[in-house]
Amino acid sequence: MEVLERKNEKRLKMDKSHIAKIFLTFAFFGVLIGGLFYPKIGLFAFVCMIGSVLLSFYKGRYWCYRFCPRGAFLDKFVARTSFNKNIPAVLKSRFAKAFMLTFFIVMMSANAILSGGDLERFGKGVVMLLWVTTLVSAILGILFRARTWCVICPMGTVSGVVGKKRGTLKIHTQKCISCKLCNKNCPMEVEVCNFKENGNIESVNCIKCESCKVACPKNAIEMA
């Protein structure tokens, strides 16, 4: 009975998540395509940037899985064609995260300076950056895991650092049998079992998708 209830709960969540992610994907490409004709639309990207950081103070990288339009695109479309291979270690390194964050800051600063205060030109620069990073995220998602981009996403990195200990998933040590199904099912390749002694999954890469919770055969993982 307990297994059946878990399956029904999972199915209900998947149905709701599917609809939400389809909507977010269409909204995302609405901004990408619409921004080519009306560049100021690209400024909506700041809603995601600000929203992800603000929410991280309360629930960590919760935004990345639930509300990020690009993340929804990767989950619902790129994942279908992904080779689902391991994410290269270099992309999971601190250097890669720092490089991408620095690159993002430099590009946005240069765009602001070159636009000379013209929102139309600034918006166009934002749209172009969105197109380039979306292309990169799609390529990475196909070659490796669908969410590979999220490992080096600048806003994801900021949110992860700020909310590392916020809204964490908890591991019940006595229930855990170290089968590592949680590790295998994590789209971000977080080594969940490594946090067993700590009791809380405090990783900058954890996007609170609860895939580890669903995969656990002993119900040893839950939201803290």
Instruction: Give dist(CA 144, CA 219) in Å, integer.
Output: 29
What confidence category does residue 9 fall into, taking pLDDT thresholds of 50, 70 and 90? low
CATH number of 169-223: 3.30.70.20
Q: What is the H or E stretch that residue 221 is in?
A: strand 221-223
pLDDT score at 3: 44
Residue 15 has pLDDT above 60, yes or no: no
Q: Which amino acid is at 10?
A: K
pLDDT score at 19: 85
Q: Which amino acid is at 107?
A: M
Pair 223, 169: CB distance under 8 Å = yes
**Dihedral of the CA atoms 71, 77, 82, 84 (nearest 10)?**
50
Residues in the chain: 224
Mean pLDDT of the chain: 92
User: What is the per-residue pLDDT across 140-195, written as a single tens digit (0 to 9) for each?
Assistant: 999 999 999 999 999 999 999 999 999 999 999 999 999 999 999 999 999 999 99
Residue 205 has pLDDT above 70, yes or no: yes
DSSP summary character for residue 40: G
The CB-based long-range contact list for 131-140 (8 Å cut-off, 24+ gap) reads: 131/32, 133/70, 134/32, 134/70, 134/73, 137/70, 137/74, 137/78, 138/74, 138/78, 140/91
pLDDT score at 13: 55
Selection from 157, 148, 59 nearest residue 104 by Cα: 157
What confidence category does residue 224 fall into, taking pLDDT thresholds of 50, 70 and 90? confident
**Region 27-56 average pLDDT:** 96
**Can you give the residue ranges of every domain in the chain?**
1-163, 169-223
**Region 192-214 average pLDDT:** 93
DSSP summary character for residue 170: E
Distances (CA, A) of 82 to 142, 157, 176, 218: 4, 23, 30, 29
User: What is the per-residue pLDDT across 66-123, written as a single tens digit (0 to 9) for each?
Assistant: 999 999 999 999 999 999 999 999 999 999 999 999 999 999 999 999 999 999 999 9
pLDDT score at 18: 79
